[in-house]
Structure 1
């Protein structure tokens, strides 16, 4: 009888940890199932800052953000054609308005999140320095035989801001023949960084992340429309997207965006 009791007790002790292990294994997939992946369509100029913010969001929630960066114009048209995304962040209000008009985004979720400025840049070893950007300044002469690059002035936000500023300052007609249009602001930045353009007009935040360029002048804020980055959930956003949007409006996200030079336009939540 005692022998039987000892055998039964030993079997119970051996089986106890085994059942605990099975329970732990069963719990793991449940946690993994709760994690979600959201897709953000964002203006090219946001890449460095948004990548860092997204990493912080993932560390906090275990949810993953897949970001697709391009010109706001290209992203808005992709959404119109049914491209799957959960969030759209535009570098201007016009392309967000376009997305709302085409019912690509949920207008009730729209928030003007960030601000920026545009600057004149040159390759880091350029002799051009300290350009006073004012009414009638001779930008064409400054460029010499070289090209001035920015985003496509007909569609890409940075190009639209650049053209508006150059028109208001009275120099667009003289520089238009020298303009080299790029598909987005990062492409324009690369042209200057590689020395393929002698000057470029980009956002100040872009100039700060490329060691191959230097800022030689800043466009007056009143020379162009206010640079605003609105954000909104798309019309077909996954359940839970609101949590990501709330994170973008948090104090943690504010610190990240300001670190990269963006101005933060909303009162951060806790």
Structure 2
């Protein structure tokens, strides 16, 4: 009798537990999304039973890997330029591209640094002959946005010779947190997750192109699960998580 009752309990619990997919879902995501996406991945796993495996790096690096056939099912880009690149290369399904979040830019310094309103003299004095850490403005979305923000203040020509271009925005953030450089230009969401920096100035969104994150399916892997993840990303649970990390959730 006891063994029969135990079997019934086990079968009931199994029925209530989401079936776990045999293969995990692979998502390539911009480095600045790490903490938010890890939380969203856990929420998706809890709801569907599907494991999500993320690869985080600079958007350009990921885009080239996807173009070369890397087995990512979903691509999360930090700007439209790289999403257009993989779309034109036929590496993502154009009809699945959608926006899901936006961000802002901030100037940061090591923890405890005094606020600073950007000006040629102010930046030069604060740098003191050191470098301004930022993502590479030639290839990385955060760097492109950062260059545009500095140009909007008429500062790019004054600081371009002092820029230390990094492979992604998180590398720039780490350089400031370690004290390798007195200033860095990163996303506001990056500054929120790094206790070793202080925000010195927030750039107005009006002086640079809108910072939009976009998602798309690549056509690789389990398309049903990948589509499910894309829908989940636009749903209320994911939007709440994005907001909790400082992103502005986007309706697409």
TM, length-normalised to structure 1: 0.85
Q: What is the CA–CA distance in structure 2 between the aligned matches of 1:34 and 1:151, rounded to whole Å?
A: 37
Find the residue that maps to 1:208 and give its secondary structure: helix
Q: Does 1:208 align with 2:176?
A: no
Q: What is the CA–CA distance in structure 2 between the aligned matches of 1:64 and 1:224, rounded to whole Å?
A: 37
- Per the TM alignment, residue 138 of structure 1 is displaced from its structure 2 partner at its CA by 3.7
- Per the TM alignment, residue 146 of structure 1 is displaced from its structure 2 partner at its CA by 1.8
Q: Does 1:107 align with 2:99?
A: no
Find the residue that maps to 2:63 and give its secondary structure: helix
Q: What is the CA–CA distance in structure 2 between the aligned matches of 1:67 and 1:137, rounded to whole Å?
A: 42
What stretches of structure 2 of length at least 5 have no aligned partner?
none
Q: What is the CA–CA distance in structure 1 between the aligned matches of 2:24 and 2:121, rounded to whole Å?
A: 49
Query: C-alpha offsets along residues 32-70 of structure 1, whole Å, 9 cap, x if unaligned?
Result: 664541100000000001100110111111101100000
What stretches of structure 1 of length at least 5 have no aligned partner?
1-12
1:115-194 alignment to 2 at 5 Å?
Answer: 115-126=102-113, 129-133=114-118, 138-194=122-178
CA RMSD of aligned residues (A): 2.5
Provide runs of 4+ in structure 1 moved above 6 Å: none
- Per the TM alignment, residue 131 of structure 1 is displaced from its structure 2 partner at its CA by 1.9
Find the residue that maps to 1:121 and give its secondary structure: strand
Tell me the residue number matched to 1:199. 183
Larger-gyration structure (1/2): 1
Of 49, 52, 63, 1:76 maps to 63
Find the residue that maps to 2:83 and give its secondary structure: helix
TM, length-normalised to structure 2: 0.90
Deviates more, 1:33-42 or 1:117-126: 33-42
1:26-37 alignment to 2 at 5 Å?
Answer: 34=21, 36-37=23-24
Number of residues of Structure 1 aligned to a counterpart in Structure 2: 248
Q: What is the CA–CA distance in structure 1 between the aligned matches of 2:97 and 2:222, rounded to whole Å?
A: 16
- Per the TM alignment, residue 137 of structure 1 is displaced from its structure 2 partner at its CA by 6.7
Find the residue that maps to 2:186 and give its secondary structure: strand
